[in-house]
Structures are given as structure tokens and as C-alpha cells.
Chains A and B, each alone.
Chain A
Amino acid sequence: MSLPLGIDFEFRKVIMDVHIGSDKIKYCYQCSRCTDSCPVAAVANPFYENIFDPRLIVLGTLLGYKDIVMSLVSEKGSIVPWGCTVCDTCDTVCPQAIEVTEIITLAKNVATGAGLAPDSIVAQAQAVFDSAKAIPSQPAIERRRVQLGLPAVAAPDVNEVQTLLKNIGVDKKL
């Protein structure tokens, strides 16, 4: 496999803009504390299958190597970026306070746009679009709520939420 080493400046700019009010990703000096403290990296296959390495994701995005990052993301539900369990440990231990999880989130959003999100993620977005809840109301649970003396869950305005999500373009990705 030949590695396409093109630098994509537009991609770099998008990554820089992930951070609130600064482009602090450029201060990453690859110390690898993110990967060392990542619970998913710790249980990755020792024979380098399904490896998940936040440091590499930061490096690839920092340098603007969109093709390399996207080749890792190229399969449906591939471990980069979907191995991230969103525990925010990497953000916490980073000596440069880089919001690594926000970078991985951007990679997930890009993958979703390309139709590569895992089924569980798409199913939740569909439920939110259809009912404004990730878990729709069900008669059996409604009965249990009554038995427990709980008030009915206040019904959300589904039409308004669908208008909002359509304007953002969520429906086109479902």
C-alpha cells in the first residue's frame, strides 16, 4: 500500500477550530500520555490488530494528513475513531490541555457524513429524529411508572425538533 502523504490545509484548519478559542493542538509534543492512559488502547490486541492510538490520531490531524487519518477511518465502524469510549481521560492527563476527545469526535462526525458510522450510533440518531428521545416511550414502561407512583414523562415537541434537525442536515445522514 502506498501512503498518500498530501497535506490538507483545510482539514488542518477544521481541526484547529475544534478547540475553544485557540489552536492548542499545535502544542502537542507527542508525549503519548493520551495513549498510555487510554483504557481502550490498553486492551487492544497485542498483535496490532484493532489498535486504537489517540496519539497517532492527534499527530495525523495536527500535520493535516487527512488521507492517512481518513484511510484509518475508511471502513464502516472502524476502530479509528469508533474505539473511543468517550471517557475523557486523555483530555484530563494531556500536559498541553488538548481536547483529544473533541478531535476524535470530529473524526466521528466526518466518518458519519461518509456513511461509515456503526449501526448503533445511526439507530440512536434515528430514534432521536423520530421521537426526540434516544429511547422512545413504551407502554410497558409507562405502566411501570404508574406502579412506582411516578408522573408521566412530559412529551417533547417532536415537530420542532425535526425542523431543527432537518435545518442542520441530520436527516440526510440517516
Chain B
Amino acid sequence: MAEYKMFEGCTIGNRIPFIEASSRKVLDKIGVQTSQAPFTCCPDPTGMKSFDNMAWLTMGARNICLAESEGKPIISLCNGCTNTLRGVQHQLKHDSLKKEKVNTELAKIGKEFKGSIDVVHFVDVLKDNLDKVKGAITKQMSNLKVACHPGCHYMRPVEWMESDDPMRPKNLKEIVAATGANVVDYDELALCCGNAVAGPYPEHGDAILKQKMDSIKKAGADVIVVNCPACFQRFDTAQRDISKKFDTEYNVPVLYLTELIALAMGISSEDIGMKNHRVRRNTAIENL
């Protein structure tokens, strides 16, 4: 199998590195090799792109150049980073004017975007290696009821993500089911966590999260499983606030997909730093 360049991203690398710990352990177990590169911020498809689209395109293209110089594909642990890198690649491949403009800027620092490497989300790598994932599982998670939240940027816009059904995503459910856990369906599966609007408009963000959490609660989930660090932080930190604000007990613990798989592979919660979660583990997780 090809070696990937690891794109851990700013949030995971510099804020919640325990997610990188479980991810690296799971990738190791299924024989996926990675190496590092001095990547910059992807940059953020909800932040830097809104600030300056040309800067977003050019910095994204520069990151792809770093992997291209080694001829290796990129594996990303984050929806936002995958979305940016795939989006930049898509736009530059289909718009020669944009590509020319970007390459004019890159030429000034001695680089050129070619579009010769692939950018993949870790969920897609796990899905392609599902037999190996299943083979490494030693502990069935059959006592756990899981609400899956793949997050917007894993599958939308469909033209450049090409990963899953954009409104009825199923990949995450399939992988979670492979651990033996029970996936519970809920109405608001494809709804955004509200992270990007919560900065400038917290009230709108809270109202969206409430809608999402009400739906998850109704489905009787013990835990939410996510594959995006922005969504992870949103669920892990804002649940307490909306519990107070709307006078409802939410407090559903959040697991990164790789944390769930690591636990199912018999890796201890101490080894992957799960004590750093904000929402306290409930009995369903304690009993795993």
C-alpha cells in the first residue's frame, strides 16, 4: 500500500491531539503507513476562504505541492482540511484561468501546482480497508447505541468530495456497524452542527445544535460518533451551554470514529487520551 502524507490539520494537531493518537494507532493496526510534511493550515473552508478566496486557493495549492514533490497522496483526519484540499484541486483542475492565476503566485516562491496526487479522507481509507478493520477488532461494541454524524464537509459539495450520498450518507454508519455497535437512525442525520455560524451568530448556532441534539436524544443514542474535529468540539463543548439555555439535559458523550475503533481493537482509553473529553463518559462507555 502506498504511503500517505499525514495531514493532521490545525485543530487536531495543535488543540485536540488525542484524536491524532487514536487515528495513528488505528491506521497502524490496518497497515496504513504515513509520514509527515511541513503543511500549513489547509486553510479553513469556513474561515480563510470567507476572508479571501484567492488566498484559500493558493495556500491549499501550496500544500498539495508539498505532497506532489514526494509523489505521495495525502490522508486527512479532518473534514475541513479534506474539503479544502479536494475543493482547491477540483477548482484548479476545472478552471484554467484560476489555475493560471494561482500558479503565477506560486511561481514567485518556486512552486507549481500540477494536480497529480490524490487527497483522501481517513473515513474513505477505513472504508476501503473494512476487512482489515474488522479483522483487528477484538471486542464487539454490541452494547452501544450510536448516532452517527458524518458532518457537512465529508460529503458536500458532492462534485468535489465524491465520497458518499450528500443527503443520506451511509459510509460512517457502515464503519461504526463493523465494530458491532448498534447504529440508531435519527431524522437530522445530514444536518450541520452549526459550528461556522456559531462564531458570528451564536443564537442561530445554538438553535441548530438543539435541533440536532433533540433528534439524537429522541433516537435513544448513548453516544455520538463523528469524523470531524470541528463537529467534535462543537458537540463536546457546546452541549453543556445548550442544556442550560434550553433547560434540557443533553450530555451525550462524543467519540471520534477512530476512538471507537481503537477501543474495539482493545486499545485502552488511557493510551488514546480520552480523559481530555469535556462531556463526561456515561455508563454505556464506562462499561465497554
Chain A contact residues, CB within 8 Å of chain B: 20-21, 39-40, 42-44, 50, 52, 77, 79, 82-89, 91-93, 99, 101, 105-106, 108-109, 112, 117-118, 120-122, 124-125, 128, 132-138, 141, 144-145, 147-151, 153-157, 160-161, 163-165, 167-170, 173
B14 touches A150 (CB 8 A): no
CB distance from B1 to the nearest CB of A (A): 20
A92 touches B192 (CB 8 A): no
B51 touches A88 (CB 8 A): no
B24 within 8 A of A: yes
Known A118-B199, A168-B52; contact A153-B47, beta-carbon cutoff 8 A: no
A147–B272 Cα distance when bound, in Å, is 10
A125–B47 Cα distance when bound, in Å, is 8
Contacts of A117 in B (CB 8 A): 50-51
Contacts of A153 in B (CB 8 A): 8, 13-14, 36
CB distance from B93 to the nearest CB of A (A): 9
A21 touches B273 (CB 8 A): no
Set A101, A112, A120, A145: member contacting B199, Cβ < 8 A: A120
CB<8 Å pairs between A and B, sample of 19:
A39-B191, A40-B208, A79-B201, A85-B192, A88-B153, A88-B166, A89-B156, A99-B157, A108-B51, A109-B52, A120-B47, A121-B51, A133-B41, A147-B273, A150-B24, A154-B37, A164-B62, A164-B106, A168-B54
How many residue-residue contacts, CB under 8 A, span A and B?
A: 202
Contacts of B105 in A (CB 8 A): 164, 167-168
Known A86-B196, A164-B105; contact A135-B11, beta-carbon cutoff 8 A: yes
A1–B121 Cα distance when bound, in Å, is 50
Set B20, B38, B46: member contacting A155, Cβ < 8 A: B38
B95 within 8 A of A: yes
A154–B11 Cα distance when bound, in Å, is 14
A41–B37 Cα distance when bound, in Å, is 40
CB closest chain-B residue, reference A78? B200
CB distance from A147 to the nearest CB of B (A): 8
A20–B208 Cα distance when bound, in Å, is 31
CB closest chain-B residue, reference A107? B50
A156 touches B39 (CB 8 A): yes
CB distance from A165 to the nearest CB of B (A): 6
Known A135-B11, A138-B14, A168-B52; contact A92-B167, beta-carbon cutoff 8 A: yes
Beyond known contacts A50-B204, A133-B14, A150-B21: 4 more, CB 8 A cutoff: A52-B204, A112-B51, A128-B48, A148-B18
Contacts of A149 in B (CB 8 A): 21
Contacts of B179 in A (CB 8 A): none
B59 within 8 A of A: yes
CB closest chain-B residue, reference A128? B41
CB distance from B241 to the nearest CB of A (A): 16
B14 touches A137 (CB 8 A): yes
Known A89-B156, A125-B47, A125-B48; contact A164-B58, beta-carbon cutoff 8 A: yes
